[in-house]
With several copies, the nearest count.
Chain A
Amino acid sequence: MRDVAIIGVGIHPFGRFAGKEFTEIGQVAVLDALRDAGIPWKEVQAAFCGNMTSGTAAGHRVLARVGMTGIPIVNVENACASGGSALRLATQAVATGLYDVALAFGVEKMPRGFMAMTSYDRWQMLQGMAINPIGMALNTRWHMDTYGTTAIQLAKVSVKSHKNGALNPNAMYRKALSLEEIMNSPMVCDPLRLLMLCAPDEGAAAAIVTTGENARKYTSQPVFVAAAQLGSPLYGTTFGTIAVGGSSGSARMSAPEVSVVTAQKAYEQAGLGPQDLGCVELQDTESGSEIIYYEQLGLCGPGEGGRLLDEGATEINGRIPVNTSGGLIAKGEPVGASSLGQVHELVLQLRGQAGQRQVAGARVGLSHTVGAGGNCSVIILKR
């Protein structure tokens, strides 16, 4: 296996862009990544596109607006982990010698309102149970019951997200919010309130990878893909009911959650551990998830997520900054792009280009997404 490095990242801001086609949104991110890498499009040998809702041949339609060079293009639909899956495939293709330069990008123009998820069965839809916040609220309530996590802690996650988002020109919401504003926002699925949830939106992000050796030709600051893992749920997890629409869970078993298993594999692949992380972008579909994933990614022990937050450890100036970009709560979630949006943030952080959001001395970053179908991507980057 060859070392693989990211030589360029690009983004189209996350938000709402009425009248703008997804093709244009995707094009902006890809061109931005090409410029960042200083590489002409004709040198890119393969492309992988993460997308959920734009219909057939989404990546082809975006890339026809960049240049029709005949390269293989694979469209990946892995829900929230689509972009991470695309980057993993691009990384594997370069690592194994299939290609020397590959593009991974994600693009999405989400319909407005609650995601009308197609990953539920018809009876779940007719019973009103086909919305994602239900699953997350059940998880969060379980965590509160089990470990004493509080509603105030949930709101504090959102305070942090919006504070960071206010510093991010690519975020949808760029305004700090008070604890009171969040606690007074409407209840969606108890204990989750509206301002604790991420909103679906539009955006795109891209990364160009090549071999570590080749990377030096393009940049003095290559960021290496130390690990790229993708997992699906084991049978018998606590939250098994929710991950895969329509199937029940087990009350008798307690298999490890998909994020735990996938992160462990990533740490092994990278030869690194949670203690090495200088910045983390994780799947904060809502506030409860952020606290739960602190634990599942090993940033702290089981049940210690609320305390980690209270201590300020996950603030930009904390011991282990999480979602310095503002996370999905402030950026919104353009599903196919969200994972590569995380990668965009981490690359900026590792290069020292994150401006007002810059964390001090980060050498290793982790991107984590998990979504429909129990799709889970964990990527570890290091400079």
Chain B
Amino acid sequence: MSVVPSRKNQVPVQEGLFSMPAGPGESARLLGSRCKVCGEAFFPAQAMCANCCTETTEPVVLGTRGKLFSYTNVNHAVPGGYKGKIPFGVGTVDLPEGVRVTTRLTEHDTSKLRKGMEVELVLEPLFEDEQGNELVGFAFKPVR
């Protein structure tokens, strides 16, 4: 998947959160971890299983499609260094590996969102950082 075209240098909001698309027609992927004992998956990746409380996790590349569990939007300037567009959508998405990820949504109009709808991962340019790089985050988009 290609991020919205841009000449700027694109930088992920954090290394190790997601992989960039491997090539044309490929998707970005969220990078998590999974417990070898109980099978619980985590995002972002963790060294420990919060369920078993043991160091039993291995890396897992998470599925790109999931179901929307809950959703809202942000209509107001927020602290923490975010300088991107407002409003934007936020939701929790259940991925096939059993992770419930809190994420941005590409759709902020909540009348177009509903519990259980299918959503897919996309990358989203957010804003330019102090070094002039374009920060890229992840979001989920309703599947039409």
Contact = CB atoms under 8 A, between A and B. Distances in A.
Interface string B22-47: 00000000001000000011111011
Nearest to B71: A141
A41 B135 CA distance: 38
22 contacts: A27-B47, A65-B50, A66-B50, A67-B54, A114-B76, A123-B17, A123-B137, A126-B80, A126-B137, A127-B82, A129-B104, A131-B78, A131-B80, A137-B90, A138-B72, A188-B75, A189-B90, A241-B92, A246-B44, A248-B102, A250-B51, A251-B69
Nearest to B53: A67
B72 A123 contact: no
Nearest to A64: B50
Contacts of B41: 248
Interface of B: 13-14, 17, 32, 40-44, 46-55, 69-76, 78-82, 84, 86, 88, 90-92, 94-95, 98-102, 104, 110, 115, 126, 135, 137-138
Contacts of A247: 42, 46, 50
Contacts of B81: 125-126
Given A189-B73, A241-B100, A249 B92 contact: yes
A129 B90 contact: yes
Contacts of B75: 186-190
A138 B72 CA distance: 6
Interface string A126-140: 111111001101110
B13 to A, nearest CB: 4
A130 B79 contact: yes
B76 to A, nearest CB: 6
A122 B48 CA distance: 20
A130 B79 CA distance: 7
A69 B55 CA distance: 15
A200 B80 CA distance: 17
A188 B76 contact: yes
B70 to A, nearest CB: 4
Interface residues of A, number: 56
Question: Which 3 pairs, one residue from A and one from B, show the smallest C-beta to C-beta distance?
Answer: A67-B53, A125-B80, A137-B72
Contact of B100 (A31, A65, A240): A240
A242 interface: yes
B70 A139 contact: yes
Given A68-B51, A117-B79, A248-B102, 12 more contacts: A40-B53, A40-B54, A65-B47, A125-B81, A128-B80, A128-B82, A138-B92, A190-B73, A236-B51, A248-B42, A248-B99, A248-B100
A65 B14 contact: no
A34 B63 CA distance: 34
Contacts of A139: 70
A190 B91 CA distance: 11
A216 interface: no
Residue of A40, A68, A116, A249 with most chain B CB atoms under a 10 A cut-off: A249
A120 interface: yes
A242 B73 CA distance: 15
A272 B102 CA distance: 37
Nearest to B111: A190
B46 A65 contact: yes
A370 B127 CA distance: 33
A27 B48 contact: yes
B102 A129 contact: yes
A181 interface: no
B72 to A, nearest CB: 4
B79 A131 contact: yes
B98 A123 contact: no
A126 B134 CA distance: 12
A117 B55 CA distance: 29
A42 interface: yes
A38 to B, nearest CB: 14
A29 to B, nearest CB: 14
Contact of A141 (B49, B70, B79, B102): B70
Nearest to B84: A128
Contacts of A64: 50
| Interface core residue of B50, B71, B102 (most chain A CB under 10 Å) | B50
B99 to A, nearest CB: 5
A252 interface: yes
A252 B115 CA distance: 16
A369 to B, nearest CB: 22
A251 B95 CA distance: 8
Contacts of A65: 46-48, 50
Contacts of A40: 53-54
Contacts of A125: 79-82
A142 B100 CA distance: 14
A128 B104 contact: yes
A287 B48 CA distance: 36
A99 interface: no
